[in-house]
Amino acid sequence: MQTARVKAQLAFIGLQVLFAAVLGISSREVVAAESGTTTLAQSYCLSFAKSAEAARESRQKAELDDLNVKLDEKLATINAKTKELERWVTERESMLAMATASILKIYDTMDAATAAQELAKLDLQTVSAVMIKMKAKKSSEVLKEMNPRMAAEIIAIISARSDLRMNAKP
């Protein structure tokens, strides 16, 4: 009769410890709250509570590890986009630097048809840089005189740079 009672008490205390572990209550608090328990019951509860706490800590650690992996992925994405933006900015700055004031003055003083023929001999990045720095009216006259395909490519380069700048704003 006495052993059945001890077993029932152990089972009851075990359930209390389990629920306490789920709720985040220390197993020692549960055991301390139970007055009149035997040393055997206390040791059972303590050993069970330790494994429940270890399981909870393991689950929480796994959740933290998963969150760290997701955070690292997002940081990698942000870093990649930052590098891409830096590359675009560097490319744009170098493109604008190509069109110095003296080169711009040469093309600006030419008539539109001659400027279009001369610019057609250069690479698209340089032409785009010159066109960006020209006055809008002169640029449109030169573009009108160019091969339509080349004019379209130049406009695409210029607009891509403008789109990038507009999309970079928060």
Domain ranges of the chain: 2-79, 99-167
| pLDDT above 60 for 101 | yes
Could you tell me the pLDDT band of residue 54, with boundaries at 50, 70 and 90? confident
Helices (H) and strands (E) in the chain, counts: 8, 0
Which pair of structure tokens corresponds to residue 71? Answer: 């955070």
Within 10 angstroms of residue 98's Cβ, the number of other Cβ atoms is: 17
Q: Give CA–CA dist 88/90, Å, rounded.
A: 5
Could you tell me the pLDDT band of residue 8, with boundaries at 50, 70 and 90? confident
Over residues 76-104, the mean pLDDT reads: 83
Q: Give CA–CA dist 72/60, Å, rounded.
A: 18
Predicted local confidence at residue 115, as pLDDT:
92
Sorted by sequence, the CB contacts under 8 Å of residue 168 that are 6+ apart come out as 85
Predicted local confidence at residue 53, as pLDDT:
83
Selected residue with higher pLDDT from 154 and 104:
154
Over residues 22-31, the mean pLDDT reads: 55
Predicted TM-score (pTM) above 0.75: no
Could you tell me the pLDDT band of residue 24, with boundaries at 50, 70 and 90? low
| pLDDT above 70 for 77 | yes
Selected residue with higher pLDDT from 31 and 4:
4
Please, what is the end-to-end C-alpha distance for the chain in angstroms?
75
Could you tell me the pLDDT band of residue 114, with boundaries at 50, 70 and 90? very high
| pLDDT above 60 for 116 | yes
